[in-house]
Amino acid sequence: MSVEFERIRIEPASCKVAAALLRRILDRSLREGDRLPAELELARQFGVNRSTVREALRELQSNGLLARHRGSKCLAVTRPAPGLVAAGVSRALALHDVTFLDVWEALTVLEPPIAESAARRRTPENLRRIQAAADVYASDNAAAATAVHHVAEFFRRVGEAAHNKVLMLAQDPLLQLLQPSLQAMIDRVPQARGRIVTAQRRICDALTRADAGDAHSWMARHIRDFRRGYELAGIAPEQRIADSPRA
């Protein structure tokens, strides 16, 4: 009887240094704002070359976990910006051949409950920001790329009003995928821009009245409109987002 073993994974020393630092960040031994020792001191502590430490630090910087404050030579622990996290997830989703239908179904699941929660938790400042986003879209007859950016910003402001960090981090990668998919459709369907304005106004009104049911209902109708728009534009649901033509 022969026994098969998996190969032992041999990682570069820089990966091991980065992993060790990441563990300290995640278990809060190193907190946001804490400065790391200088590269030479880290190299001494880890027993590696300074170039190895520099490569590990560069990896953590690229992931938004470390940053160098102005006027300081030392790196400090930071929180990754939500946009940076979302961009990485969005790229990964696109590389997995995400389709228009995938994005639409995910928005259908996520956005109406976000709007419902926002109606219950929104603050006056949230309402101001949501209304401002709706006003910008309604007043700006911009090119498609700018228009869909305004649409995504409206969704983000509603997401903020739900005051749930997990929902916001889940929402943003989808919004980054929504933009190219919506851009492929928005000017092919004459009524698309007007229907977006109407939906945003209705959602704003429901949020202002703290009507959670109406907020959920209008957001669901808003998302359903996107699918209808794709159908009217002749865009197949199974088309990949990465293949979508730009306006």
DSSP for 134-159 reads HHHHHH----HHHHHHHHHHHHHHHH
Q: What is the pLDDT of residue 12?
A: 87
Q: Return the minimum-mean-pLDDT range out of 118-122, 158-162, 179-183.
A: 179-183
Q: Return the minimum-mean-pLDDT range out of 12-21, 60-69, 198-207.
A: 60-69
Domain shared by 98 and 201, yes or no: yes
pLDDT category at 85 given cuts 50, 70, 90 is low
- For 6, list phi and psi in degrees, rounded to 5: -75, 150
For residues 66 and 75, is the Cβ–Cβ distance under 8 A?
A: yes
Residue type, 7: R
Instruction: With 0.95 as the threshold, say if the pTM is over it.
Output: no
The mean pLDDT of 118-122, rounded to a whole number, is 97
Residue from 67, 60, 176 nearest 168 by CA: 176
Q: What is the pLDDT of residue 243?
A: 54
**Percent of residues, the chain, with pLDDT higher than 70:** 91
Domain shared by 69 and 90, yes or no: no
Beta bridge pairs of residue 67: 76
Which domain covers residue 218, as residue numbers?
83-243
Domain shared by 97 and 205, yes or no: yes
Domain shared by 90 and 162, yes or no: yes
The mean pLDDT of 99-105, rounded to a whole number, is 88
